[in-house]
C-alpha cells in the first residue's frame, strides 16, 4: 500500500511508499507505473537522474524546463536528507508564486511529485546527500530556466545555516517578477 497526500499546490503530491523491514534492512517499491497511475500520476518517465551534494547547506535550484520539453519530476532522497521545494509558475493559477517544501530523507523514504509548470529546488540537510529523481522528458539545456532560490517575493523558508553553497548559475538567477512564464493554469 502506498499513501499519497495533496499539498497546498494543486498537482504536487507527497508520497509515502511502504517499506518492509527486518534485521537485514528494508525493501521498498519506489515506483510502479500501475500504482502511480492509480494516484493520478500518468507521466511517462523517460530519464532517471542521481545527484550527490557533498556539503550540508548546498542549494540547487530553482530550476525548470519550458515547453516543449517541460518535465514532471518524482523526487526522493537515497542517502542523507534534503528540503525539497516546488514553486507554482503557472500564469493564472491561484497559487502562482507560492511554494511547498518537505523533508525527503533516506530514513523517511518520502517522495515529492512535481508536475510540469513548477520550479524545483532543494537544500541539503546532511552531508553527502544523494537525490534520485525521475523526469518525464529528457534534459534539454536550451529550455532550462533558473529562478533565484532566495527571491523574497516567493519567500521560501530554507533551513540553511549560514551562507548557501550555490552554483554560479543559481547565484545570479533572475527573480520571479522578471520571469515570462511559459506555463498557464488550465483549471
C-alpha cell at 70: 517541460
Beta bridge partners of 100: 86
The DSSP string of 99-147 is: EEEEEEETTT--EEEE-TTEEEEEEESSTTEEEEEEESS---GGGEEE-
Q: Which residue has the cell 521545494?
A: 85
Q: Is 31 a catalytic residue?
A: no
The DSSP string of 23-51 is: TTEEE-----HHHHHHTT------EEEEE
DSSP annotation of 170 reads H
> Which residue among 63, 96, 102, 139 is the active-site one?
63
Report CA-CA distances (Å) from 181 to 8, 116, 145: 20, 12, 10
> Which residue among 36, 102, 120, 133 is the active-site one?
133
Cis geometry, peptide bond prior to residue 59 (ω within 30 degrees of 0): no
Q: Is 102 a catalytic residue?
A: no
- Positions marked catalytic: 63, 133
Amino acid at each position: 500500500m502506498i499513501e499519497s497526500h495533496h499539498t497546498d499546490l494543486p498537482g504536487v503530491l507527497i508520497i509515502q511508499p511502504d517499506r518492509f523491514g527486518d534485521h537485514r534492512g528494508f525493501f521498498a517499491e519506489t515506483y510502479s507505473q500501475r500504482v502511480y497511475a492509480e494516484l493520478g500520476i500518468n507521466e511517462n518517465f523517460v530519464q532517471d537522474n542521481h545527484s550527490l551534494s557533498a556539503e550540508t547547506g548546498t542549494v540547487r535550484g530553482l530550476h525548470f524546463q519550458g515547453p516543449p520539453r517541460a518535465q514532471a519530476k518524482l523526487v526522493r532522497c537515497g542517502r542523507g536528507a534534503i528540503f525539497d521545494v516546488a514553486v507554482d509558475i503557472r500564469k493564472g493559477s491561484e497559487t502562482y508564486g507560492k511554494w511547498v517544501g518537505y523533508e525527503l530523507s533516506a530514513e523517511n523514504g518520502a517522495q515529492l511529485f512535481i508536475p510540469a509548470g513548477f520550479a524545483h529546488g532543494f537544500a541539503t540537510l546532511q552531508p553527502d546527500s544523494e537525490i534520485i529523481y525521475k523526469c518525464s522528458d529528457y534534459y534539454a539545456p536550451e529550455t532550462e530556466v533558473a529562478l533565484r532560490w532566495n527571491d523574497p517575493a516567493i519567500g521560501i523558508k530554507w533551513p540553511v545555516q549560514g551562507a548557501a553553497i550555490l552554483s554560479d548559475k543559481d547565484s545570479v538567477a533572475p527573480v520571479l517578477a522578471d520571469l515570462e512564464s511559459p506555463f498557464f493554469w488550465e483549471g
